[in-house]
Amino acid sequence: KIVRIGLSGLPLTDHYRMGQLIARAVNETGRRAVIIASGDLSHKLQPYGPYGFAPEGPEYDRCIMDVMGRAAFGELFDFTEDFCDRAAECGHRSFVIMAGAFDGISVKAEALSHQDVTGVGYGVCTFYPQCEDADRSFLKAYLEKTEREYLERAEKSDDYVRLARASVESWVKKHERIPVPPGLPDEMLTRSAGAFVSLHKHGQLRGCIGTIMATRANVAEEIIHNAVSACSQDPRFMPVTADELTSLEITVDVLGELEPISSPEQLDVKRYGVIVSHGRKRGLLLPNLDGVDTVEDQISIARQKGGIRADEPYSLERFEVVRHY
């Protein structure tokens, strides 16, 4: 019998857990099973390939063949979403599911071959379970590492991010908005400005809500309210849950003055954010975002966010931000 299981856009940890469940089902039924993790490697290995070339393509194939050849499954969590996207791979989550099926077990591994004759990577490896090995409980180790890194981030964060995190945690755990706490820098209490709170989980956006201009008495209140919105009211995502809190990376962008511009040549994707407007429709994109490498991309994304069609005229504004980590 063959059971076909698809992958998803969920985090790598969820795919690893799926593998653990597969192993549990096999053990409880007492059946013998062969697990085949199928999927292409990078689609961007050669200029002549159907998807062209990206430097991340060969790097991904080199790394994945090394990791799988050593059965170093814990290192599969180190491949960031951005890196995998740029490499244009499609098998990584399949490999993670299979790795989960071997959790806590020593493995005899062998890398048999790698080919890229079409500009797309294909690898073949074999894995045979040996005996129980607590040192190979990779998900547990990864989650413990994530918890340590969370505590370190929280300790190193500046006052802006600490306030945003406190607001998120209070809302998620108790459904309560926090008051402005004592001890904040004067600049957060005396200045008013627009602010965006961005949440990322395992390298993927988890929520981002902000205000173009000040809507509250000061920056501190702006952050508190926008942090609540980012974790609970972003229409692209389900509300953040308590078990996600230690996985969240939070940044706060405080916006400067808006400046009308007459040409895209006055933009710089690293320095300036952009607002694209047509009548009452408006789209905004922050500066210095992963995957946004050109002004054309920046304008196009902002235009789409504002529901502005490509054939509609639009005006441009730029702004600078101070990004807090």
Q: Inform me whether the pLDDT recorded for 14 exceeds 90.
A: yes
203-208: long-range contacts (C-beta < 8 A, 24 or more apart)? 203/80, 203/81, 203/82, 204/11, 204/81, 206/237, 206/240, 206/244, 206/248, 207/231, 207/234, 207/236, 207/237, 207/240, 208/234
What is the predicted pLDDT for the residue at 292?
A: 93
Closest CA to 211 of 136, 273, 159, 149: 273
**What's the confidence (pLDDT) of residue 204?**
84
- Least confident residue range of 146-155, 180-189, 203-212: 146-155
Summarize pLDDT for 268-313 with one digit per residue, the tens: 999 999 999 999 999 999 999 988 999 999 999 999 999 999 999 9
Would you say 56 and 86 are in contact if contact means Cβ atoms under 8 Å apart? yes
158-184: pLDDT as tens digits: 999 999 999 999 999 999 999 999 999
Percent of the chain with pLDDT over 70: 100
The pLDDT > 90 percentage for the chain reads 91
pLDDT of residue 249: 93
Judge whether 106 and 53 are in contact, CB under 8 Å.
no
State the pLDDT confidence band at 202, using cuts at 50, 70 and 90: confident
Query: Does residue 150 have a pLDDT over 90?
Result: no
Across the chain, mean pLDDT equals 96
- Helix orientation angle between 12-29 and 138-156, rounded to the nearest 10 degrees: 160
pLDDT over 90 at 84, yes or no:
yes
DSSP 59-120: HHHHHHHHHHHHT-GGGGGGS-HHHHHHHT-S-HHHHHHHHHHTTTEEEEEEEEEEE-TTSS
Going along the chain from its start, the domains and CATH numbers come out as 12-138 (3.40.830.10), 157-252 (3.30.700.20), 256-325 (3.30.1490.150)
pLDDT confidence of residue 290? 84
User: 203 pLDDT exceeds 90?
Assistant: no
Cα–Cα distance measured from residue 86 to residue 53, given in angstroms and rounded to the nearest whole number? 10
The β-bridge relationship of strands 248-255 and 273-278 is: unpaired
Quick check: 154 pLDDT over 90? no
Question: Residues 50-70: what's their mean pLDDT?
Answer: 97
Task: For residue 284, give both structure tokens.
Answer: 């905004």
The letter for the amino acid at 175 is: H
In this structure, the strands spanning 321-324 and 248-255 are antiparallel
Q: Side chain identity at 26, as an amino acid letter?
A: V
73 contacts 102 by C-beta, under 8 angstroms:
yes
Q: What is the pLDDT of residues 224-263, one digit of tens each?
A: 999 999 999 999 999 999 999 988 999 999 999 999 999 9
Contact of 233 with 209, CB cutoff 8 Å: yes
